[in-house]
A and B are shown apart, each in its own frame.
Chain A
Amino acid sequence: MSGRHYRTAVYLSTVIEPRAERLRLNEPSLRQTAFALADRELGISRQGVVPVEGALSARFEVKRWALDLVQCSNELRWFRTGIAAGYFDGSPDSIYGAAAHLIDVETADFASRLDESVPSPQLPDFDEFHRSLAAADDAMTAGFYKCVEMLLFSTFDEWAAAMNHLSVLTAQMSDNPALSIDAASVDQLSWALAGADDLIAWVDEETAIPYIALEAIRAKDQVDPGDWGFENSRRIEQLKDRRNGIAAAAFYLTDDQGAAASTRIANLWRSLDARTTTDSVAPGESDWVFDVSGPPTTAPIATPRYEIRKDNPPQQGTAGS
C-alpha cells in the first residue's frame, strides 16, 4: 500500500478539485477582471500594467475570485514541490502532475507565470515537507485569507480606512485599559490581529516554502521598487506599524476597573503635562510613544512608563504624582 498514491489522491480530491470548482463558478466579465487584478497586483502581467476599472475591481466577488486564484497558485506550487520531494506522485516532466488535468488552461497559465516570477523554494526533504504542509494548512484561517485580500486587493480608500480603524483601536486601548468592544467589531479587525500572525511570520522568517503572494511582492520590489510592488510592501510595513502600537497598548490591558481608572487618569495627566511643555504638537495628535522595551506585566499599572519622542525632555512616572 503506497502512502504516496494515497496522499496524491487526497490532495487532488480535497484541495485542488474544490479550488478548481470555485474558480469555474463565475461570470466571464468578473473572471477577466479578477485575472487582470491579480496579474497587476502580483506583477506578472505579460502586457505591463493592465487597466482595471476601479468600481469593478472593488467588487467583493472580484477580490474573492482573485484571492482564489492566488490560493490555487500557492496550492499548485505545494503540489509541484511535493512531487519533487517524493511526497506526491508525479513526473518532473509535467509541472503540476495530475493536478494539471483538474484546472483550466488560463488558471494553470497564471499559476505557472506566478511560480516562475518567484525564486524556487529550496527543496525540502520528505519530513520537512510533511511538517511544512501541515503548518501551512493550519495557517489558512479565514483571518489569514482576509489579510491577504486586504494587502493585495483592497482599494486605497479601503486600506486607509482599515489603518485608521487600527489607529483608533490603539488610542481607545491606551485611553481605557479595560476596553470592551462588541464581537462584530472585533471580527472586523481580526484579520489584522490574530489573522495576520502567520502572514507576518512569513514576512519576517525563513520558512521551507514561503507564501507565493509574499514572494511575488518581494520579487517585484527588487525589480521595480517604485511601482505596485512598493505599494504592497508599504502596506505590510504599515500593518506591522499599527500592530506594534496595539501590542504596546495591550501590555496595559486589565479587567481590574480600579487599575484601569488609574491608568486613564495617569494618561490624562501626561497628556496635559505634555501640552504645557511643548508647542510642537498639533491639536489632536499624540506626541507619546509607548516604551515596549520592558517585560509585559500583569499587575495593575497606575503609572505606565513612556518614552518622550524627539525634542520633549525625558520624564518618568510624573503623572498624578
Chain B
Amino acid sequence: MAVTESKHSPYKVKSPSGWSLYVSHHSRVRRLVVFVHGFNGKAVTTWSDFERGGGNSNWWHESDLLFVGYESTRDTITGVANRLRFELSKFYPTPLPEAMVVRGVQARDDITSPYQELILIAHSLGGVVVRRAVCDAAMEWDLAGRTQATRSILLDAQLRLFSPATAGFEAAGFLGSLRAMSIWRAVEIFLRRSPAYSQLQPNSSSLMETRQRTERLAAQEGFEALRARIVWASPDEVVISERYSTDYVDDSWDGTTHSSVCKPRAGKFEQPWHFAETGRTR
C-alpha cells in the first residue's frame, strides 16, 4: 500500500481538556492557527477539511493547528473565552514543549523557535467566544496602563470569522436553527436554558457589551487584533449578518449555508483556505 506522509500529526493535550494540537513536521513552522467551532461543531472534525489544506499550500505546512474543544450545550461563552485567554500562552509564542518531544521523538527539526504569527479562526458561536476573549484581553491591557509586560498574546492575533454569531441568532430562527443543526443539542440547550441560549438572543447585554467595548478600543493603536475579517454564508438563516463598525468590510459567499461556509473542498470551494491564509475573500 502506498503511504502518504501526513503533514500534521495529532497531539491531544492533557489540559485544557478537549484541545488538540496538530503538529506540523515541516522543518520550520512559522505560525499557530487556532480554530474554535460553533454550536453543533466538534473540536477537530468541524475543521478537518482545513487540516488537509496542507496539500494545497506551503502556508499550511508552516503552521501548527490548535483545535479548541468545548461543550456547546453547557459551557458558557464567558467560560470558554476565559479559558482561551488564559491557556493560549501555553501554546504561543513558544510551541507547546510537551508536544515537541514525545517519548524521545522530536516532532520536527526546529522545536524551539517561536511562532511569528497567531491566526484565530472561528465559526458561529466560536466567533462570539473569540471576540469576547480578545475584547477582554484588550480591556485588561488598557486597564493595566498598556505596558509591554501586560500585553496579552491575543492582541497579536489576526481574526478570521465565518458567519459569527456576534449579533445574535435570528430572533425567529434560533431554536429552529439549532434544531436544523442538531436536534439533540437543541433539546439540551433549550431544556436547561443554557447561558448561551440567553446570551445569543439579539441585543443581549452580553453581546452588546462585547461590541461596545471592542468598538471603543479597536480604532486605537495597539488594538488592531480587535478588527476582524468576516465572511458570511449567503443565505445565512441562522445568525444576524452584522459586523462591528470597526471591522474590515465583510463579504458573503453565495450558495453557502451557515454550516457549509467553513467547509473547503479541493477544486470546488477553495475560498475558505484562501480566506484563512490571507484574510481576503476573493
Contacts and interface: CB of A to CB of B under 8 A. Distances in A.
Nearest to A187: B74
Nearest to B108: A1
Contacts of A86: 1, 3
Given A6-B105, A10-B9, A186-B192, A1 B172 contact: no
Interface residues of B, number: 53
Contacts, number: 131
B180 interface: yes
A181 B27 contact: no
A289 interface: no
Given A14-B12, A298-B176, A183 B3 contact: no
B5 A250 contact: no
B74 A197 contact: no
Contacts of A4: 5
B6 interface: yes
Interface stretch (A68-76, A134-142, A210-218): A134-142
A138 B43 contact: yes
Interface stretch (A37-45, A109-117, A125-133): A125-133
A296 interface: yes
Kindly name the residue among B175, B185, B190 whose own CB sees the greatest number of chain A CB atoms within 10 A: B190
B146 interface: no
A193 B6 contact: no
A9 B103 contact: yes
A190 B191 CA distance: 11
Of the candidates A12, A125, A138, A247, the one having the most CB atoms from chain B within 10 angstroms of its own CB is A138
Q: Chain A binding site: helix, strand, loop or mixed by DSSP?
A: helix
Given A181-B192, A253-B187, A138 B5 contact: no
Contact of A298 (B51, B102, B172): B172
Interface in A69-91: 85-87
A194 interface: yes
Nearest to A12: B103
30 contacts: A1-B25, A1-B107, A1-B108, A2-B5, A4-B5, A5-B105, A6-B9, A6-B102, A6-B107, A9-B102, A14-B14, A86-B1, A87-B6, A126-B6, A127-B52, A130-B6, A134-B45, A135-B45, A137-B44, A139-B42, A179-B191, A186-B188, A193-B187, A193-B188, A194-B184, A253-B175, A253-B179, A255-B175, A298-B173, A298-B176
Interface of A: 1-10, 12-15, 85-87, 123, 125-127, 130-131, 133-135, 137-139, 141, 179-183, 186-187, 190, 193-194, 196-197, 243, 246-247, 250-251, 253-255, 296-299
Interface of B: 1, 3-7, 9-12, 14, 20, 23, 25, 27, 42-45, 48, 51-52, 69, 71, 73-74, 99, 102-109, 172-173, 175-176, 179-180, 182-188, 190-194
